[in-house]
Structure 1
Amino acid sequence: MFGPLREPPRRSVPDWVLIGTAVLASAVAVQLMTDLWQLTVAYAGALVAFVAVMRAAVRRVPVDAEEKLAPPDWSVTVAAIERPDVATVITERSGKVVCANTRYGEWFGFYNAPPQLALDEESQTRLVEAAREAWRAGEASVSLLVGTSGRWHADLRRAGRGQNHLVWEFAPVEMVDLGARLVRQLDDKLGRALGAAGIQAVAVSAEGEILGANADFARRAAADRPENLVGREFVEYLTADDYDRIYYAREGTSGEDLRLIHLPVVDPDLSMANGRDAPVLFLIIEGGLHAGNSAALPEIESLLALLPLGLAMTDRDGRFLFANKAFRRAAGLETVGEIPPFPSDLVVREDKGALADSIRRHAAGTPSSGALPVRLHASAEEPVTLSLAGVRGLGEAAVLLSLKDTTEETRLKRQVAQATKMQAVGQLAGGVAHDFNNVLTAIIGYCDLMLLRHAPGDSDYDDIQQIKANSNRAASLTRQLLAFSRQQTLRPQVLQLPDVVSEVSALLKRLIGEKIRLEVKHDRALGAVRADPQQLEQVIVNLAVNARDAMLAKGEVGTLTISTRKVTPRDVRALKNEILPLGNYTALVVEDTGEGIPADMLGKIFEPFFTTKETGKGTGLGLSTVYGIVKQSDGFIFADSEPGEGARFCVYLPVDATLAGEAPPEPKREAEPRAAFGGTGKILLVEDEDTVRAVAERALVRQGYTVTTAADGEEGLEHVRGGAEFDLVLSDVVMPTMDGPAMAREIRKLRPDMPVLFMSGYAEEQLRREIDIASMYFLPKPFSVAQIGEKVASVLGATRQPT
């Protein structure tokens, strides 16, 4: 035990004697040095006054302050911390022990400074963390410190002058032997209370030996007293049958089967590793888990009914005992009052034998699990996985079945597959239309050139006109394909949907005929939308024609209703449509009273070339064109139908942010004034299709232009690099090796003011977003001889205008 610190010795000479001697000595020194008695007197007086003032100031210091400045008396501290049941030690900030009581020295050693004590690694770490917390927050505590000589609880707090000391208090933790206490309780009131409730209780060591039991267990298991069972093997008193049901050995299988509840007796203050050797309390209840004739395992049934997994149980004969709601839903039995007797009744005929054999094998063999792919009657096209597991000790229940509800997953897979298919078909349609446009351009061009040599009345004139008419019809089909693939050229503007419906109403009345009545309805305060009015008219006409054919097929007088509605974000939320984003829309609704669309065809109606009409009476491009135009206008279209009750198509177009009737600023484009047909100038024609290049060249040469041709971008660029002068570059967009935009950018480096006219079957808006070249013009394919002449003259006329 540390003792008190030694106090410094007291002075025997009074302070005023020392001060007076010092003043007199300094005055004599001044006199000897200056030999001026006036200066000496003045110096001595000032020094005496200063000393007097300082003594007065010192006397005003409070007594408690003097005591604080005095060194600590550690003997008092030792007496204060001396306790028989707590080890206390005081350390400085540096960790040095300055004071400790007797108990600390006995448990840890006087010169062992915390936190470096004889503790295990985990306790040492927690004690170090507690010391840091105490220095930071002022106090800390840590429990269950395990050492070589016991276990302690530690409290730490800062104290002393300037809070520079740390007080450690270690209190011993009483270790309770829960196993011994449990054995005593089983032989006392707790054991008697359990016996009165019909529960036999026995405490068993980790080695399987009986430590103690209540009287009820001793009577049933061995007809003996509890103390005579101590040290015997617990399993000696139990037996089991072929179905893993447990009985008392002395009663045999003729007795009541038992349910054993296993309760490890582990000190909650100990880790799991330290509790491995803890005793176990077995509570034994008469009557195992039996299943009645009408229900399987009430306890298990109530649990399985709450689980979201599809679970069911069968007996050893393969009969259903129980099936929860999720299993019924996954098996397609939601609307069925009772489940069938056997699981094999749920599957198709080809899978019945395999499923029955698998259930019989899991019921009779050792506990095991497996999975079996089956096809259910509810969805015979899509196999599902049925998991099986053999169980024991649950009475009649022998096999647990698990079936996953894949309804939502299947719906999502179909949606993804449909979207992927539509995207692939759209890309294919766009590519086919682009290549087909090149062919049509050549056909139409050659027809125009032939018509220049044949006058009306000529024997070949009508044939050429017929070829050109059919080519133009084919061109309209390619425009529909481009519309579906969202690559059609649109001229969007801000407009009101009622105005578009009004413009097309007269045409609709002629199209639908007299048997069908047309009704038009409009909401008030509709928001303006941004779309191409001609394309919207095509949407309305296509939907109306399809509705007319559906109603005429029904053979009755029908009604075609076209309405416009205002749709707010609240309305969108009420629709609960995951595809339609929240926002303000103006909806165009087209309804008919025809036969309706079958449910199995509703998901295919927007696919190109899909039609329900007879062969030769429909191209299957009407609704696909509608779909493409709506999507290219940033809108959404949905179809609803009930067989025999007609169909309803809803087109949602987002409300434009600009004021209704005022068009937003268009992307900057070069002026394109109309020019006279014909002109002069040098043109570089770049086209990889030989027929298109030949037609364009002949058409421009006939108009008086000087044309230089190139088969690809690199060849065209070489003409410019070679020093050739041109007034216009007329180029295709997609070409091998070097495409049109890449060639145009290289030419602009040599000739910054060179105008470029692109020919393409793709949408102009899409090309402008992707290319973004100044002084760029556009000529859609297919084109006629007159159209290419007019366009070239228009571009040259615009570029030659004075600035």
Structure 2
Amino acid sequence: MASRGGDTAAGPSGLAPMRDWLLLGGAVSASAVVLWNASGQPLVAAGFVGGVAAIGAAIRLFLRPAQAESSPEFALPDWSVTNAAIEQSNDGIAITDRAGRLVCANALMSNWFGLSAVPPRLPLDREAVDALEAATRAAWRDGTATAEPLVSSNGTWRAEVRRAGRGEDFLIWRFMPVATQDLVAEIVGQIGGKLGRALAREGIQAAVVSPEGIVLSANPAFVQRATGNGSADVVGADFVSFLASDETERVYYAREGRKGASIRLVHLPVADPDGVANVDPARTTSLFLLIDEQGSVGEVRAGLPQIEALLARLPLGLAMTDRDGRFLFANAAFLRAAGHDDTIPPPYPSDLVIKEDKGALSDAVRRYAQGIPMAGDVAVRLRATPEEPVSLSLAGVRGLGEGAVLLSLKDSSEETRLKREIAQATKMQAVGQLAGGVAHDFNNVLTAIIGYCDLMLMRHTPGDSDYDDIQQVKANSNRAASLTRQLLAFSRQQTLRPQVLQLPDVVAEVSALLKRLIGEKITLEVTHDRDLGFVRADPTQLEQVLLNLVVNARDAINDKLAAPGAKGSGVVKLMTRRVTAADVRSMKSEILPIGDYTALIVEDNGHGIKPGQIGKIFEPFFTTKEKGKGTGLGLSTVYGIVKQSGGFIFAESEVDRFTRFSIYLPVHVPDAAEIAHARRPAHEAKREWAGGGRVLLVEDEDTVRAVAERALTRQGYEVTTAADGEEGLEAIGRDGDFDLVVSDVVMPTMDGPAMAREIRALRPSMPFLFMSGYAEEQLRREIDIPNMHFLAKPFSVQQICEAVEQVLRAR
């Protein structure tokens, strides 16, 4: 039955069994025979059989079942397999979906960032998290992205993120640790290890010395020569204690004395050649190579290939030439510092410098190669960076075969930059002193003009023929006074009236004016942070700062919109921000001291400032505007006001995108007296003055003295005048019964502060009202006495009368 069953199942058609086919064939054959006998025609019988066969074939084709088409099936994702695969990596790997959920991660991710950490929200600093979020957006948009460096207390990483999956619905994160190199530890280990022993075989003694002069590591050759015992421990000993010198400055080992061979010290600072240039030598670990000037003790093989192989491993820029000045070798660090792209040095060191320095460098190399062993530096300009001179150190050596001069290259571009900055600062200081002196003298002239205008206006009423002319003279004098205030602000000698205030209040006071200044086509956006700290500044000067910055922003936006094909609209943003000490620390600024600040930010979307100009914008008389459209004093005035207020200002810009000025003012904590003064009712702050008084007026400018005398006399004061400090002292000596001394600060023979000290010795309670075009704070630093008041020049008749009245009222 098993065999039968197999026959029945055979065949793809699955129709009748074999016996049915035999019965059907027999029936057809019998019918054909009967038809042949009946008709006697064999063709008729054959046609019958063929017809039956065709009909059977058609029926079989029709009844054959269609084969099912196979279709591939995709297996559902098995994340356990993915987990097993990513565990083989040495990097931290994580997979997140489009919703930002963690799909899987390997063990390194958990060890580094914790079990619940999901990229980009990882326990890193703020800048790193921002970089990861930016990389997330870029990966969803572009397919791949990177972010570095990612810093935390546990280390530093570099991240790569890639979009993947059938629907590209997943992000694959790969975090790779960034190893930091400890150059000092590496050099200490090399000199104390195989490299040090290899140097010893060539007769070169080597020691690594800390900035304090303590030996950190030494090779056996140095230990043997310095102590006489090759197995002695010299780590922690004073390096110079092993050395001595004679009157000719030749250096010996102290143990050997003059009987031993003199040695040549080659000093190499251990500093990264690709790092910060010109590290202070006094705070840098040093590698000293000590070479015998008359050959070393013991057998020395002075083969240059060995020396080249040894020095090539050091991360310091070293090269060697023969007596003819040809390069024998140069390590990779030297060629990199010299800006030479090829791994093979040129024939001569002079081939690395510009044409003007070739002769000086060739002469120096020949001099060190043929003279007595010595060392020195020569300043050259490399062909790779012809604008920045560098210092090339040369040392004549002996006992190294063909080697005659050892060269060490260090970058001095930082030193050159600092020199330029110091020269610029000196120039700016001189210009500031000149501007302050001119403004002071000009203020005396303006005081007289404004004062006489006030006196003339007392005799003329509106409608008189001369009234309008006098008003025009006074108005133009006030414009000139505004210019002198700009000069004083630039030179930081302006008189400030600091108050404890909130920056949003200052912005609110000036917002309406700013909207009228920028016009209807530019939008002014104002935003404030919460919990802003108090600042101590002059609100009037802060308003001047805002006016200058917003006017510059308006001009930049209008210039951009006026360009052909320009689109978009102009926006000026005024923002106040709360900046904590932690925020300042994360900024890693070398200029801004760590502390709490309140920041005032002015930003526009104008044409921006070119990178080559942004470092000069605060210089006086420098302007990016067209000729006749800018004085160049606006930003220098802003800088002077901010610095005089104890703040800091920074500028950022990107051409055709934005310009941002950030002003940081230190948070001021008001004391009880300041709070009480702020809360004092207005009617207590001002009371009517009920009497005159005797005033001693000391002023060396005749016109200023005459105006002040007439103004005070008209107010009912009895005024005695003096032309300088000595005359003022004489007036006090004759009749010291004065209620107030009104004096200029800068006077010939005896100035105001010197006279004040002499008068206070005679009249300790005498009040003083000083008049000056210089800053009040500068005066207080020169003379710090109680009951001293200040009146800034230029002043009007009304201002000097009110100032005298306030002082006498307070008394």
TM-score interval, smaller chain: 0.5 to 0.7
Give the 3-state SS of the residue equivalent to 1:607 in structure 2.
coil
The Cα of 1:379 is off from its aligned counterpart by 4.9
Name the residue aligned to 2:75. Answer: none
Separation in structure 2 between the aligned mates of residue 358 and residue 453 of structure 1, nearest angstrom: 83
> Partner residue of 1:539?
545
CA deviation after TM superposition for structure 1 residue 439, in Å: 1.5
Structure 1 residue corresponding to 2:308, chosen from 286, 297, 317: 297
Q: Per-residue deviation at 1:694?
A: 1.7
Kindly report which structure 2 residues correspond to 1:617-632, keeping only aligned pairs within 5 A, or say none: 617-632=629-644
| DSSP-derived class of the 1:625 partner | helix
SS at match of 1:490: coil
Question: How far apart are the structure 2 equivalents of 1:266 and 1:781?
Answer: 80
Query: Residues 437 and 475 of structure 1 are in contact (CA less than 8 Å); yes or no, is this contact kept in structure 2?
Result: yes
Counterparts of 1:495 and 1:480, CA distance in 2? 23
Q: Which residue in 1 is equivalent to 2:590?
A: 578
Q: Does 1:376 align with 2:374?
A: no
Cα displacement (A) at 1:378: 5.0
- In structure 2, the partner of 1:718 is 730
Output the amino acid matched with 2:536.
R
Q: Compared with structure 1, are the counterparts of its residues 531 and 681 closer, same or farther at alpha carbon in structure 2 (3 Å cutoff)?
A: closer
311-320 vs 423-432, greater mean Cα deviation: 311-320
- DSSP 3-state at the match of 1:297: helix
Answer yes or no: is 1:497 the counterpart of 2:503. yes
CA distance in 1, matches of 2:649, 2:788: 34
How far apart are residue 651 of structure 1 and its match? 1.1
Residues 1:388 and 1:434: Cα distance change in structure 2 (over 3 Å)? same
Q: Which residue of 1 aligns with 2:104?
A: none
Q: Which residue pairs with 1:728 in the alignment?
A: 740
Q: Distance in 2 between matches of 1:684 and 1:658?
A: 36
Find 1:700's aligned residue among 696, 704, 712: 712
Distance of 2:342 and 2:660 partners within structure 1 = 33
Task: Report Cα offsets for 1:462-489 as digits up to 9, x if no partner.
Answer: 4433322221111112222222333333
Equivalent residue, structure 2, for 1:756? 768
Matched, 1:428 2:434: yes
- Confirm or deny that 1:525 pairs with 2:531: yes
Counterpart AA for 1:374: V
1:290 to partner: Cα distance? 3.3
- Shift in Å at residue 275 of structure 1? 13
**Is 1:597 the equivalent of 2:615?**
no
> Using a 3 Å threshold, how does the CA distance of structure 1 residues 474 and 416 change in structure 2: closer, same or farther?
same
- For 2:343 and 2:521, how far apart are their aligned partners in 1? 48
Alignment deviations for residues 85-121 of structure 1 (CA, whole Å, 9 cap, x no partner): xxxxxxxxxxxxxxxxxxxxxxxxxxxxxxxxxxxxx
Q: List aligned pairs for 1:441-520, cutoff 5 A.
A: 441-520=447-526
- Using the size of structure 2 for normalisation, the TM-score is 0.57
Q: CA deviation at 1:712?
A: 0.8
User: 1:707–1:500: structure 2 CA closer, same or farther, 3 Å change rule?
Assistant: closer
The letter of the residue matching 1:493 is Q
Task: Report the CA distance between 1:783 and its aligned residue.
Answer: 0.8
Aligned pairs (5 A) from 1:72-83: none
Shift, 1:715, TM fit? 0.6
Q: Structure 1 residue 710: deviation in Å?
A: 0.6
Change (3 A) 1:354 1:490: closer
Q: How many residues align?
A: 528
User: What is the RMSD computed on CA atoms of the aligned residues?
Assistant: 4.3
Instruction: For 1:284 and 1:743, locate their aligned partners in 2 and report how far apart those are by CA, in whole Å.
Output: 81
Query: Contact 1:267–1:275 at 8 Å: present in 2 too?
Result: no
Q: CA deviation at 1:688?
A: 0.8
- Checking the alignment, whether the CA contact within 8 Å between 2:312 and 2:332 is kept in structure 1 is no
Residue aligned with 2:453, SS: helix
For 2:429 and 2:499, locate their aligned partners in 1 and report how far apart those are by CA, in whole Å: 27
- Per-residue CA distance 1:584-626 (angstroms, 9 max, x = gap): 1111222233333334433332233332333332222222222
**Aligned-pair identity (%):** 70
Summarize the Cα distance change of 1:736–1:572 in structure 2 as closer, same or farther, 3 Å threshold: same
Note closer, same or farther for the CA distance 1:785–1:659 as it changes in structure 2 (3 Å cut): closer
Q: 1:145-184 residue pairs with structure 2 within 5 A?
A: none
TM-score using structure 1 length:
0.57
Partner of 2:659: 647
CA positional deviation for 1:693: 0.9
Relative distance call for 1:336 and 1:507 in structure 2 (3 A) is: farther
- Letter aligned with residue 450 of structure 1: M
Distance (Å, rounded) in 1 between the aligned partners of 2:803 and 2:371: 85
Counterpart for residue 406 of structure 2:
400
Where in structure 1 are there 5+ consecutive unaligned residues?
Answer: 1-200, 202-259
Summarize deviations over 1:639-665 as a string: whole Å, max 9, x none: 233444433222111122249997476
Aligned-pair CA distance for 1:273 = 5.0
> Which of 616, 629, 634 is 2:628 aligned to?
616
Of the structure 1 ranges 443-452 and 760-769, higher mean CA displacement relative to structure 2 is found in: 760-769
* Structure-2 separation of matches of 1:361 and 1:745: 66
Q: Is the 8 A contact 2:223 2:229 kept in 1?
A: no
CA contact (8 A) 1:263 1:281 kept: no
Q: Which runs of 5+ in 2 are unaligned?
A: 1-200, 202-220, 233-253, 262-295
Q: 1:685 corresponds to which letter in structure 2?
A: L
Going from structure 1 to structure 2, the CA distance change for 1:329 and 1:683 (only over 3 Å counts) comes to farther
Contact 1:673 1:798 in 2 (8 A): no
Instruction: Report if aligned partners of 2:389, 2:413 keep a CA contact under 8 Å in 1.
Output: no
Does the alignment pair 1:780 with 2:792? yes
Return closer, same or farther for 1:330/1:785 CA change in 2, 3 Å cut-off: farther
CA–CA distance in 2 between the matches of 1:451 and 1:542?
A: 33
Match of 1:744 in 2: 756
CA distance in 2, matches of 1:572, 1:695: 52
What residue identity is the alignment partner of 1:615? K
Q: Distance in 2 between matches of 1:378 and 1:462?
A: 68
Contact kept? 2:388, 2:413, Cα under 8 Å = no
Q: Which has the larger radius of gyration?
A: 1
